């Protein structure tokens, strides 16, 4: 299990790591890490939503909580109705669509992501009005 406070720290740290990779021209690694920023931020929100101190990703709860599936994590976070095509913030939905194309298998990607792709991911995470990471941090 991962403590709620640690999930928040992990999310923030992964974003910093992604930026270091980006600054050094390692775009595939930066893009890959961006997926974990969103995943751990959602898991922190799930802890808040369920009022639990640790994310239950082992034992009897493993089949429900141990997931890289963003749609499942969004459901568990209690925010599913906030990210839809018809929601007030349509840009947030577009950012969600971009970021959730991520899969753990992308760790094998080399030469797939360009500088502009990673910039789009950072914008989708950190935009002040519709960035998913910016938004989720307010809901922790």
Q: Which residue has the tokens 């893009």?
A: 31
Task: Give the span between the Cα atoms of 60 and 138, in whole angstroms.
Answer: 30
| Strand segments (E) across the chain | 2-3, 54-55
Cα–Cα distance, 100 to 75 (Å, whole number):
14
Task: Please report which confidence band the pLDDT of residue 132 belongs to, taking 50, 70 and 90 as the band edges.
Answer: very high
Q: What pLDDT does residue 62 have?
A: 64
pLDDT digits (tens, 9 = 90+) for 15-40: 999 999 999 999 999 999 999 999 99
| Strand 2-3 versus strand 54-55 pairing type | antiparallel
Domains of the chain: 2-138 (1.20.120.330)
At how many degrees (to 10) do helices 4-23 and 115-126 cross?
A: 150
Q: Which residue has the tokens 């751990």?
A: 40
Q: What pTM, to 2 d.p., does this model score?
A: 0.91
- For tokens 């792709």, name the residue: 117
């Amino acid at each position: 299990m991962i403590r709620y406070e640690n999930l928040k720290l992990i999310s923030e740290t992964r974003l910093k790591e992604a930026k270091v990779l980006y600054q050094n021209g390692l775009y595939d690694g930066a893009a890959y890490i961006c997926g974990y920023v969103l995943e751990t931020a959602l898991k922190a929100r799930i802890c808040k939503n369920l009022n639990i101190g640790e994310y239950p990703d082992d034992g009897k709860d493993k089949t429900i909580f141990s997931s890289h599936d963003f749609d499942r994590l969004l459901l568990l976070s209690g925010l599913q109705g906030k990210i839809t095509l018809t929601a007030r913030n349509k840009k947030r939905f577009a950012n969600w669509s971009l970021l959730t194309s991520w899969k753990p298998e992308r760790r094998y990607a080399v030469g797939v992501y360009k500088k502009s792709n990673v910039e789009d991911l950072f914008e989708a995470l950190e935009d002040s009005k519709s960035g998913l990471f910016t938004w989720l941090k307010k809901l922790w």
